[in-house]
Amino acid sequence: MSQQIPIFIINLERSAERRKKIKEQFNSIELNYEFYKAIDGRELDSKNIPNYAHAYRLKEFGKDMTPNEIGCYLSHFTLFERILNEGHEMALIIEDDVNITSELPDILNNLKTVKTPWDMIRLATSRDRKFEILEPITEITNLVNLKGNACGAVGYVLNRSGAEKLCNYCKTIIHPIDIAMDRIWENKLQIRAVFPFPIVHDNNVQSDIRTDSPPIEAPQKTIHKLRRKRRKIVDGINKRLWELKSH
């Protein structure tokens, strides 16, 4: 096997049990990894984060992102920057509330030689999607195009091109990080996936990173419902135009 790509595991310092569990999983498949100390949302004040679009969020959505969502966003963004600053060709970024399969080492090794152009390869999603097979990765997994937004950021491989695109696009914080990733008509990412997924979110573990959003103020509910419908229509059109243009 050739040299292993870097693996960054996002883990809150206070989440010792998760750290222990994910460490045992990676040790069992003999992959090297590095724990990245996640930015703790409990220590953030959303009104004092320079790049957070606080006023825009309130106007368009009627609510702020939660501090934990912002902490999650900043944790991933810092790793995008590390990929560029440290000269990595690609890296696996993974959150700590997952289960991994024994296929992961071979998948990571074989991703280095895929022929299909890509910026990001998702190794997990939070939604079942139809897909188009592009090429084989291992005997039992394939590189695929997912139909529709994949959602989730618990495990993905990002190359230098993808890191550069996300560093440029994600400078202003507007959406949770997984939604920002899925806005391909704006960030220009070429996103693929490996299926069957070698990383699965552990639904028995409550997220330390994401919490319920604060409620929309009652007087604003109607206008924000209308704005949400408008955004859905506009985003759908823009996404379809981008897909037609890029194929």
Does residue 222 lie within any of the structural domains? Answer: no
Examine residue 73 and state whether it is found in any structural domain, yes or no.
yes
Rounded to an integer, what distance in angstroms lies between the CA atom of residue 63 and that of residue 154? 24
User: What is the count of structural domains for the chain?
Assistant: 1
Which residue segment(s) compose the domain that 195 sits in?
7-215
Name the pTM for this structure: 0.89
Confidence of residue 148 (pLDDT cuts 50, 70, 90): confident
168 within some domain: yes
In a domain, 68, yes or no: yes
pLDDT in tens, 74-115: 999 999 999 999 999 999 999 999 999 999 999 999 999 999
In a domain, 204, yes or no: yes
Indicate which CATH number applies to the domain containing 65: 3.90.550
225 is a domain residue: no
Q: Is residue 76 part of a domain?
A: yes
Residue 166 lies in a domain: yes
Give me the amino acid identity at 79: L
